[in-house]
Chains A and B, each alone.
Chain A
Amino acid sequence: MLTLTCPYCGIAACETELTPGGEAHLTRFGPGSSDDDFEAYLFLRPNVRGVHFERWRHAMGCGKWFLAARDTATLEVFGTYPAQTTEPPEDIVAAIKAKRPDWEGRP
């Protein structure tokens, strides 16, 4: 039962308040994109064991989508941040590197 702190309302929300939304920071490919790009966008996920960026919605709370950096093996949470970002903010990256010096960045 995870707890993630919603960056909008500041509440340490229990998993029952949240709905998951899969991997974060995907680039949308629409009409005109190649079959490979579209397939990768829609279906292909690295499914990492370790540091993972993911989407969550505070569905039973303020209703906002936010992003979290979390270790999928230990469930450690490195930080949460607003959904309106195209890549992980610097402070989140720093927090991850402090805990996981060997981390090589997003696949």
Chain B
Amino acid sequence: MSTRLADGGRLIDRSRKVEFTFNGKRFSGHPGDTLASALMANGQRIVGRSFKYHRPRGIVASGAEEPNALVNLGQGARHEPNQRATTTELFDGLTATSQNHWPSLEWDIGEANAAIARFLPAGFYYKTFIHPRAFWKHVFEPFIRQSAGLGKAPDPKHTDPDRYEQFYVHVDVVVAGGGIAGLQAALEAGRAGAKVLLCEQTAHWGGRAPVDGVEIDGRPAEDWIADAVVELEAMENVHLRPRTMVAGVYDHGYVLAYERVSDHAPQDGVPRHRLWRIRTGQVISAIGAIERPLSFAGNDKPGVMLASAVRDYLVEYGVSPGDRTVVVTNNDDAYRTAIAIRRAGLDVPCIVDARPEANGPLPQEARALGIPVKTGTAIAGVKGIRGVVAVQLCKQAGEGAVTEDVICEAVAMSGGWSPAVHLWSHCGGKLTWDEAGAFFRPDPERPPTNQSGEGFVVCAGASDGALHAGEVMENASTAVGKALAAVGKETKGNPPAATAPDEAPLAPVWVMPQGAGIKKRAKMWLDFQNDVKVSDVQLAAREGYESVEHTKRYTTLGMATDQGKLSNINGLAILADTLNAPIPQVGTTTFRPPFTPISMGAIAGEARGEVFQPLRRTALHARHEEAGAEWEPVGQWRRPYCFPKPGEARRDAVNREITATRSSVGLLDASTLGKILVKGPDAGRFMDMLYTNMMSTLKPGRCRYGLMCSENGFLMDDGVVARLDEDTFLCHTTTGGADRIHAHMEDWLQCEWWDWKVYTANVTEQWAQIAVVGPKARDVLASLGGDIDLSQEALPFMAWAEGKLGRFDARVFRISFSGELSFEVAVPASQGLAFWDALMAAGQGHGITPYGTEALHVMRAEKGFIMIGDETDGTVIPQDLGLHWAISKKKDDYLGKRAQERSHMTDPERWQLVGLETLDGSVLPDGAYAVAEGENANGQRNTQGRVTSTYFSPTLGKGIAMGLVLHGPERMGEVLEFARTARDPEGNLRTVEARIVSPVFFDPEGEKQNV
């Protein structure tokens, strides 16, 4: 049973208590505790259940590499799954629950899975759930979904109440890791005058050195660390961030760091997490090393921990994992744990060392303390169901015949250390195998490279493979020297000397004992979180999964939230051994960011809710809001969809707006339409290239409708062009197309016709534009007064004029998208609101009615006008839409002309635009296909057309639609069958009949607009 010791614990404040709950039980800890140390202090041994077999699991590690102690943190809207207890700082009122258990953590039904473990081997899902095919959807998948997954996703009904933010910084050097190597690197870089950001993922500086008893310049490491932090904090060019993890290193010196601002002390008004988006010249990775577990049977039982973690809990938090702890190791470092346990007054029944001998200073010190050291020995098995009660020893060289049982409550294991090479590898840094240490280390010859082709990441200290304290400072100084040289600075070097007892080399031990049979290997866990065992990797290798990347996916080794931090090297050593290949030849899987999981909130930052994206409002936005507009997003704009009166249904509002406009006068806010000026001596020539029709012949004072195609022939935008003067055209684009079309123009001007004298400017937001539409439109405008002659003679259809309308500076365009008498009036944006008010007042006697985008759509469809995005989808050419009249035959060239001559574009089988009228007057479903005889290869009905726009027309009192139909224009009067999306109860296709008609449903002669 783990417990809090009477004294010790350098990080905790014993004078105060902090209350928290775990699975509803009230516990207490001290400020400075992590959730993990506090749970251990309260004797909570089982903290979770494993993923596949639901085995009881305890805390294994003391840091970010923890695979087992994942908990649900918080409640309600703040509930968050899969939080590592080892990196969760305790605070008053913390609530945590364990995951992946049913009905309770102590008694779990799924534990039965463990009993049938031999029926759940690697690749189980792939092998089992293949046949019969139909079972997957109805039997296997629902079952697997129910039992799979770690933790519970937050309730989708809640929105995250916390705030997140992002910072952007540019620095010379990012130092990742605040251990002694990182501190030394930051000191030298800071003294050299470089702009430095030093990030440490925990709340504490100094890393492992204080726990491991390192001395620096003859003083305890703790003292040197305190001095270093004081010096660094005083430097203006150095910025220190604790609780900040460097999550990823990306191309060209882009780095993401994840700061947990207030996880340890939740409070309102403070962001919870902060994502640092950094551009740096160099990255110094000083993120240390991760201890490896040993693979012995039963190594996943609660009470079996990493040796370094046992030491951490003792020294940092004053917590012991049990009164009697057996240490099992293949190296000298783990002896520190035995010594620390004994110094804390607890018992180490024995040290089990797989090596034939152990005579270094640390083993000698252990022996001097009276701890029995059993060399050449291994653990054959672990006794206990819900936790360790004893271990069975055997010879490492043998097959596992038990020589003795040793009673204990905990096992501290160490299989050696692996440098954390993640940040080196994220952006392509290569690794080299270190035979002596049995680990991969960064290959300094093959670093990740930046835009200049130079390396931009260096590793310092343990992250570089300098695992012994004696090497760390010199290594860090060399690393920072390299990094500084790359950013044009120089270090004076002269690092302090760090000292610690010498260590004898480790002996690689991948399986314990080395001759263990299948029964034992099936109980040796590699990946604790995903339940992958030595036997699984061996099975995968036997079945032909020789690539480490394939083995990973087949067995799920290293695919859990810890991303194989503990299992990686052990797993591939097993794979290499099974394949009888050297480890470096088998290689590693790819290290990908983030180093540990980061919150989605931090990735989103402030970009959520109302500020998810910039919102564009027209000058008239406030009036629409007052009028109760229902909004429709169009690009980043918000446009009124309709203006329902209180209690009025949307559809009724739309119909009322159409009827009022067609019978009297309506107002549309058309400000969002793109307005692009094209100006210069070559403007006409350029316009002729941009549009399919001839624009250069347009007279000043006149307007012309035009089509724009991409170079591969497809219709991309349309709109009315007004010629302002000889040199100047004003191009109206669709609302969503303004920026895109402006960019399209600039592309061709800058990259192809750069010698043409043309300038463009996007002036969309300079103007408020209001369409005054309907038989009474002229009366309303005329009543404002002014100097513009609005008569049919002076300002005929497709003409425009400039002048005063009342007190407003106006451009009046006689253009119509509704088929009605229509004036689109542009006034400077600053006058827009007053102009709208003036029109509303002037039109009061005519019942002037603002209308929204839906009325606009219906009225244009009644007239058979196409809409970009409805009739076009990026595969439609103007010729498909019967727009031949808008394609010049005289021009030698325009963008898209050559493409439209390609055989597929001139194919008479291309579907053509027609109008569609249902026989029963109903509204066709949008996007519905016209079915043809026969079926295709997938057993689906053949098609011969589809609906592109479909509405109820209040003017005609029935459903109207447009669509593209095979040979459509030649088939007027023919009746087609259109598929409905919903099938009948027997599963048969339901159809609705519609007749092919002209797409112009209303006023085909155009008499209404031309008055």
- Contacts from A to B (Cβ < 8 Å): 1-4, 14, 19, 21, 28-33, 35, 38, 42, 55, 57, 59, 63-65, 71, 74-77, 83-84, 99
For A42, list chain B residues within 8 Å (CB).
Answer: 711-712, 899
Q: Is there a chain A Cβ closer than 8 Å to B746's Cβ?
A: yes
Q: Which of A21, A29, A57, A76 contacts B453 (CB 8 A)?
A: A76
Closest beta carbon of chain A to B566's beta carbon, Å: 30
Check: B754 CB closer than 8 A to any chain A CB: yes
Q: Are A31 and B898 in contact (CB under 8 A)?
A: yes
Q: Is the CB of A84 within 8 A of B897?
A: no
Find chain B residues with CB under 8 A from A2 CB.
251-252, 451
Q: Cβ of B747 and Cβ of A31 under 8 Å apart?
A: no
Q: Give the CA-CA distance A76 to B902 in the complex, in Å.
A: 39
Q: How far is the CB of B290 from chain A (nearest CB, A)?
A: 27
The 5 closest A-B pairs by CB, nearest first: A1-B254, A76-B453, A65-B750, A84-B754, A77-B451
Give B427 Cβ to nearest chain A Cβ, in Å.
Answer: 9
Q: Which residues of B contact A (CB under 8 A)?
A: 250-254, 279, 449-453, 711-712, 743, 746-747, 750-752, 754, 892-893, 897-899, 901-902
Complex Cα gap A83–B892 (Å):
26
Q: CB-CB < 8 A to B752: which residues of A?
A: 28
- Cross-interface CB contact of B901 among A31, A74, A83, cutoff 8 Å: A31
| Of B250, B746, B897, the contact of A31 (CB 8 Å cutoff) | B897
Chain A residue numbers with a CB within 8 Å of B902 are 35, 38
Among residues of A, the one whose C-beta sits closest to the C-beta of B739 is: A59
- In the complex, the chain A residue whose C-beta lies closest to that of B428 is A74
List residues of chain A with CB within 8 A of the CB of B449: 74-76
Q: A42-B712, A57-B747, A59-B743 are in contact. Are A3 and B279 (CB under 8 A)?
A: yes
Candidates A1, A4, A77; contact of B250 at CB < 8 Å: A1
Q: Looking at A30, A55, A63, which has the most chain B CB atoms within 10 Å of its CB?
A: A30
- On chain B, the residues within 8 Å of A38 by CB distance are 898-899, 902
Whether A74 lies near B898 (C-beta < 8 A) is no
Contacts of B747 in A (CB 8 A): 21, 57, 65
- Among A21, A28, A75, contact of B252 (Cβ-Cβ < 8 Å): A75
Min Cβ gap A94→B in Å is 15
Number of A-B contacts (CB under 8 A): 68
Q: What CA separation (Å) do A29 and B449 show in the bound complex?
A: 38
The distance from the CB of B988 to the nearest CB of chain A, in whole angstroms, is: 42
Is B751 touching A33 in the complex (CB atoms < 8 A)? no
Q: Is the CB of B892 within 8 A of A31?
A: yes
Please give the distance in Å from B958's CB to the nearest CB on chain A.
Answer: 44
Cα–Cα distance between A33 and B901 once the two chains are bound (Å):
11
Beta-carbon contact of B750 and A30 below 8 Å: no
Q: Using Cβ atoms and an 8 Å threshold, which residues of chain B touch A21?
A: 747, 751
- A84 CA to B751 CA, complexed, in Å: 6
- Whole-angstrom CA separation of A4 from B892 in the bound complex: 38
B389 CB to closest chain A CB (Å) equals: 53
User: If the complex has contacts A65-B747, A76-B451, A84-B754, are A14 and B279 also in contact, measured as CB distance less than 8 A?
Assistant: yes
In the assembled complex, the Cα of A67 lies from the Cα of B754 at a distance in Å of 14
Smallest CB gap from B901: residue in A: A31
> Are A75 and B451 neighbours in the complex by a CB distance under 8 Å?
yes
Is B898 a contact of A33 with CB atoms below 8 Å?
yes
For residue B893, which residues in chain A have a CB less than 8 angstroms away from its CB?
Answer: 30-31
Separation of A102 and B451 alpha carbons in the complex (Å): 20
Q: Nearest A residue to B452 by beta-carbon distance? A: A76
Q: Bound complex: CA of A2 vs CA of B750, how far in Å?
A: 23
Please list 18 pairs of residues, one from A and one from B, whose beta carbons are closer than 8 Å in the complex, sorted by A's number. A1-B250, A2-B451, A3-B253, A3-B451, A21-B747, A21-B751, A30-B898, A31-B893, A31-B897, A38-B898, A42-B711, A57-B746, A65-B746, A74-B453, A75-B251, A77-B451, A84-B750, A84-B754
Tell whether, in the assembled complex, residue A83 and residue B754 are in contact, meaning their CB atoms are under 8 Å apart. Answer: yes
Q: Give me 20 other A-B pairs in contact (C-beta within 8 A), A76-B452, A83-B750, A84-B751 excluded.
A: A1-B254, A2-B251, A3-B253, A3-B279, A14-B279, A30-B898, A31-B897, A32-B898, A38-B898, A42-B712, A42-B899, A63-B746, A65-B747, A75-B252, A76-B449, A76-B451, A77-B451, A83-B751, A83-B754, A84-B750
Inter-chain contact B252/A3, CB cutoff 8 Å: yes
Q: How far is B249's CA from A1's CA once the two chains are assembled, in angstroms?
A: 10
Is B751 within 8 A of A55, CB to CB?
Answer: yes
Cα–Cα, bound, A5→B210 (Å)? 46
Known pairs A2-B451, A65-B751, A76-B453; A29 contacts B898 (CB<8 A): yes
- Report Cα–Cα, A30/B900, bound state, in Å: 11
Assess the A30–B897 pair: CB atoms within 8 A: yes
* Complex CA–CA separation, A99 to B452 (angstroms): 10
Min CB distance A16 to B, Å, is 9
**Which residues of chain B are within 8 angstroms of A84 by Cβ–Cβ distance?**
750-751, 754
B-side contacts of A1, CB under 8 Å: 250-252, 254
User: Which residues of A sit under 8 angstroms from B250, Cβ to Cβ?
Assistant: 1
Chain A's closest residue to B254 (CB) is A1
Q: Which residues of A contact B252 (CB under 8 A)?
A: 1-3, 75
A39 to B743 Cα, complex, angstroms: 24
Nearest CB in chain B to that of A59: its residue: B743
Tell me if B743 and A57 are in contact (CB < 8 A).
yes
B449 → A minimal CB distance (Å) = 6
Q: In the complex, which residue of chain A has the Cβ closest to the Cβ of B449? A: A74
From B892, which residue of chain A is reached at the shortest CB distance? A31
Question: For B253, what are the chain A residues with a Cβ–Cβ distance below 8 Å?
Answer: 3
Q: How far is the CB of A101 from chain B (nearest CB, A)?
A: 13
Rounded to whole Å, the gap between the CB of B168 and the closest CB of chain A is 9
Whole-angstrom distance between the Cβ of B291 and the nearest chain A Cβ? 33
Alpha-carbon separation in the docked complex, A68 to B901 (Å): 33
Q: How far is the CA of A1 from the CA of B453 in the complex (A)?
A: 15
Q: Min CB distance, A63 to chain B, in Å?
A: 7
Residues of B within 8 Å of A74, CB to CB, are: 449, 453
CA distance A28 to B252 in the complex (A): 33
Nearest residue in A to B689 (C-beta to C-beta)? A30
Residue numbers in A under 8 Å from B451 (CB-CB): 2-4, 75-77
Shortest CB distance B171–A (Å): 14
The answer to whether B453 and A99 touch across the interface, beta carbons within 8 angstroms, is yes
Q: What are the residues of chain A within 8 A of B892 when measuring CB–CB?
A: 31
> CA of A65 to CA of B751 in the docked complex: distance in angstroms?
7
Complex CA–CA separation, A2 to B902 (angstroms): 38
Q: In the assembled complex, how far is the CB of residue A71 from the closest CB belonging to chain B, in whole angstroms?
A: 8
Bound CA–CA A57/B752 (angstroms): 14
- A100→B752 CA distance, assembly (Å): 29
**Complex interface: chain B residues within 8 A of A19 (CB):** 743
Residue of B whose beta carbon sits closest to that of A38: B898
List chain A residues, Cβ under 8 A from B743: 19, 57, 59
Which A residues lie within 8 Å of B453 (CB)? Answer: 71, 74, 76, 99
How far is it, in angstroms, between the C-alpha of A16 and the C-alpha of B555 when the chains are bound?
38
A102 to chain B, nearest CB (A): 15
Q: For A31, what are the chain B residues with a Cβ–Cβ distance below 8 Å?
A: 892-893, 897-898, 901
**Nearest-neighbor residue (CB-CB) of A5 within chain B:** B451
In the assembled complex, how far is the CB of residue A37 from the closest CB belonging to chain B, in whole angstroms?
A: 10
Tell me, rounded to whole Å, the shortest Cβ–Cβ distance linking A39 to chain B.
8
A69 to chain B: closest CB distance in Å? 12
| Residue of A whose beta carbon sits closest to that of B903 | A35
- Please give, as numbers and ranges, the residues of chain B lying within 8 Å of A33 by CB-CB distance: 898
B690 → A minimal CB distance (Å): 14
Contacts of A65 in B (CB 8 A): 746-747, 750-751
B749 — nearest CB in chain A belongs to which residue? Answer: A65
Inter-chain CA distance A62–B589, complex, in Å, is 42
Residues of B within 8 A of A83 (CB): 750-751, 754
In the complex, A1 Cα to B712 Cα: how many Å? 30
In the assembled complex, the CB of B162 is this many whole angstroms from the nearest CB of chain A, namely 25
What distance in Å separates the Cβ of B533 from its nearest Cβ neighbour in chain A? 38
Cβ-closest chain B residue relative to A19: B743
Q: Distance (Å) between the CB of B618 and the closest chain A CB?
A: 23
| Max chain A C-beta neighbours (<10 A), residue from B254, B452, B750, B892 | B750
* A63 proximity list for chain B (CB < 8 A): 746
How long is the Cα–Cα vector from A28 to B754 in the complex, in angstroms? Answer: 14
CA A33 – CA B450 in complex, angstroms? 42
- Chain B residues with CB under 8 Å of A64's CB are 750
A3 to B752, CA, bound (A): 25
